Chains A and B, each alone.
Chain A
Amino acid sequence: QAGLTQPPSVSKGLRQTATLTCTGDSNNVANQGAGWLQQHQGRPPKLLSYRNTNRPSGISERFSASRSGNTASLTITGLQPEDEADYFCSAWDMRLSTWVFGGGTKLTVL
């Protein structure tokens, strides 16, 4: 099934800012909104944001999400070692009538 496009890996230094991207199309990200999940090795995914910009309670303000057209973005400021994880985006695809995910971006904090 069609999915969302994410870069496979991003590397940034400690205390720097990382911006992860997720590209879809008019059937998903552009009109249905996107969410972001964080997954540490061996752990289940954890919701970081939903419906483009909403952050669940308990999620650090260092994580902020946005959307512009077909592309959703997750910005992580003041990178910490514990931010090293896989990050997945998700969206409802109204043409496919299915939830779609990105392939994930592995964030390395140097």
Chain B
Amino acid sequence: EVQLVESGGGLLQPGGSVRLACAASGFTFSSYAMKWVRQTPGRGLEWLAYISGSSNIINYGDSVKGRFTISRDNAKNALYLQMNSLTDEDTAVYYCARDLFDLWGQGTLVTVSS
């Protein structure tokens, strides 16, 4: 089955860090660029980061540049998002998505609160 499954979310303290993971299956992972997107009730959908299939092209949205790092391990069919210096504004459901937004994971909830 073609799918993406995120993990790693939870309740985190302000200033803390977490690494989200996205496990891909059912397709040739290394052939696809991948993205991270988050969603909040108030701010809707927000694109966070992009990584090409070979990791040679990476870019970030302004709100996370310098705090978040996207990476991938094609041998493990895995995508990652390292999130540092968390604030309450990072509270959201985090999705990984395939390049054209044609495949999404179920999302993982990150809550930043003291």
Residues of A within 8 A of B (CB): 1, 3, 35, 37, 43-47, 50, 56, 88, 90, 96-104
Q: Which of B45, B61, B100, B101 touches A98 (beta carbons < 8 Å)?
A: B61
* 5 residue pairs, one from A and one from B, having the closest CB atoms: A99-B47, A44-B104, A101-B45, A47-B102, A103-B44
Assembled-state Cα–Cα distance A98/B46 (Å): 10
Q: How many residues of B contact A (CB 8 A)?
A: 21
Q: Is the CB of B47 within 8 A of A45?
A: no
Chain A residues whose C-beta falls within 8 Å of the C-beta of B53 in the assembled complex: none
Q: Is the CB of A35 within 8 A of B107?
A: no
* In the complex, B95 has a CB within 8 A of chain A: yes
Assembled-state Cα–Cα distance A97/B45 (Å): 16
Q: Is the CB of B44 within 8 A of A98?
A: no
- Return A62 CB to nearest CB of chain B, in Å: 19
